[in-house]
């Protein structure tokens, strides 16, 4: 296969399709875990005994996001416009899904008096933090009794957006190597914490810090790909090598995450920019249901598992995929797309340019 540069025409890529595939992998991963309470029947865990498809998919989301969000900032380095685009892309879909999860899904999985037990202040706080909605006890006696166990990653995503904004405001993103420097710092701190160099951090604080460093490492891996996009060559031979690295690293717990950053990231962008046939071109024109699929996959699956306790993991995954995709299409049509149209009414604050001159987009920057 001939090499493909990254400077593809705007939206001439497979980002939407890849994100949809990653969202579906999360459902595939969650389905057996909902029924078993562990990963004993999770497909990727059974194969490699390290990471699950859910972990792989979430890290993949952050890698893609790093590429697209840095592109968005460098394409228009105006703080309010950048923040508005990020808010319009992530918040409306989240809020609707969170409220439906808390007020409808939770009630369907609880007994009488559910609404009377609500701590509305806690719910409001969780919504402001873009976190899993706080609700009264629900799905009692089931594994992972949460109304939406997939939403916990959203506020980490937004923290990465704010990091890009802070770096841009500081003028650091004028330096081409800034994303790689941030990545190196995150990886160094991550390794130090994992090796016990920070003994003062323990328990919940340690776990929270590890998550921040993990997601930041994935995000700035993607941002580094964008920063060096002119020098990256995507070829079939390199993709095979990246796949071999990924599979080799997945076989050992200590190297599994490194494999995602080394081989997995290259494979994601190779698939994003590889030439596609008629099927891929048709998929590029489809509504972007991936965010909605991710948001609704858990509550749909939880309700199915609650009301059909004898359902098999495969049947649960297939039914959840079908219903979550329908919800994702509805979310895109009635929530996310209308919100994105508000970008044309952007705050008219004429901020000075804080980075390099805008470049022509080569991917879905506003996704």
Q: How far apart are CA 357 and CA 350, in angstroms?
A: 15
CB 190 within 8 A of CB 214: yes
- Give the 3-state secondary structure of residue 4: strand
Kindly report the CA angle at 336 between 122 and 104, in degrees rounded to 5? 40
So where are the chain's domains?
15-345
Q: How far apart are CA 67 and CA 305, in angstroms?
A: 36
| The 3-state secondary structure of 275-301, one letter per residue | CCCHHHHHHHCCCCCHHHHHHHHHHHH
Residue 286 has a pLDDT of: 79
Phi, psi values for residue 355, rounded to 5°:
-140, -165
Residue 205 has a pLDDT of: 83
Residue 72's closest CA among 62, 60, 81, 63? 81
Buried b (16+ CB within 10 A) or exposed e, 23-45: bbbbbbbbbbbbbeeebeebbbb
Residue 282 has a pLDDT of: 72
Residue 198 has a pLDDT of: 76
Residues 6+ apart with CB under 8 A from 79: 165, 168, 169, 351, 354
Interval 249-273: pLDDT, tens: 999 999 999 999 999 999 999 999 9
Left if phi > 0, otherwise alpha if psi is -120 to 50, otherwise beta: which for 113? Answer: left
Q: What is the pTM of this model?
A: 0.90
Interval 95-113: pLDDT, tens: 999 999 999 999 999 988 8
Residues 6+ apart with CB under 8 A from 73: 82, 164, 165, 168, 173, 355
The ranges of the chain with pLDDT < 50 are 1-10, 349-363, 365-367
Residue 4 has a pLDDT of: 35
CB 331 within 8 A of CB 292: yes
CB 235 within 8 A of CB 1: yes
Structure tokens at 310: 């004898």
Q: How far apart are CA 351 and CA 301, in angstroms?
A: 45
Residue 2 has a pLDDT of: 38
- Give the chain's length: 367
Residue 365 has a pLDDT of: 39
Q: At what angle do helices 203-227 and 178-194 cross, to 10 degrees?
A: 150
């Amino acid at each position: 296969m001939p090499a493909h540069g990254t400077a593809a025409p705007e939206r001439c890529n497979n980002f939407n399709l890849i994100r949809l595939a990653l969202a579906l992998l999360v459902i595939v991963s969650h389905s057996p875990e909902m029924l078993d309470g562990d990963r004993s029947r999770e497909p990727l865990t059974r194969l490699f005994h390290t990471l699950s498809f859910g972990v792989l998919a979430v890290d993949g989301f952050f890698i893609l996001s790093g590429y697209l969000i840095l592109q968005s900032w460098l394409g228009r380095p105006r703080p309010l416009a950048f923040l508005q685009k990020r808010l319009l892309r992530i918040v409306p879909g989240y809020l609707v899904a969170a409220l439906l999860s808390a007020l409808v899904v939770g009630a369907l999985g609880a007994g009488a008096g559910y609404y009377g037990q609500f701590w509305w202040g806690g719910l409001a706080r969780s919504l402001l933090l873009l976190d899993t909605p706080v609700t009264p006890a629900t799905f009692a006696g089931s594994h992972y009794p949460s109304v939406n166990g997939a939403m916990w990653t959203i506020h980490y995503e937004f923290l990465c957006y704010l990091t890009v904004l802070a770096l841009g405001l500081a003028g650091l993103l004028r330096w081409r190597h800034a994303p790689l420097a941030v990545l190196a710092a995150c990886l160094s701190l991550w390794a130090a914490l994992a090796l016990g160099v920070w003994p003062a951090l323990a328990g919940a604080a340690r776990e929270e810090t590890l998550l921040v460093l993990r997601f930041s490492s994935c995000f700035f891996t993607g941002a580094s790909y964008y920063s060096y996009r002119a020098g990256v060559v995507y070829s079939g031979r390199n993709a095979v090598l990246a796949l071999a690295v990924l599979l080799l690293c997945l076989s050992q717990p200590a190297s599994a995450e490194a494999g995602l950053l080394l081989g997995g990231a290259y494979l994601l962008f190779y698939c994003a920019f590889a030439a596609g046939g008629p099927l891929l071109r048709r998929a590029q024109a489809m509504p972007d249901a991936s965010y909605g699929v991710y948001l609704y996959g858990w509550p749909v699956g939880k309700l199915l598992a609650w009301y059909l306790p004898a359902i098999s993991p495969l049947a649960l995954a297939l039914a959840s995929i079908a219903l979550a995709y329908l919800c994702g299409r509805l979310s895109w049509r009635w929530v996310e797309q209308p919100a994105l149209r508000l970008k044309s009414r952007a705050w008219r604050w004429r901020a000075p340019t804080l980075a390099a001159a805008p470049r022509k987009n080569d991917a879905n920057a506003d996704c």
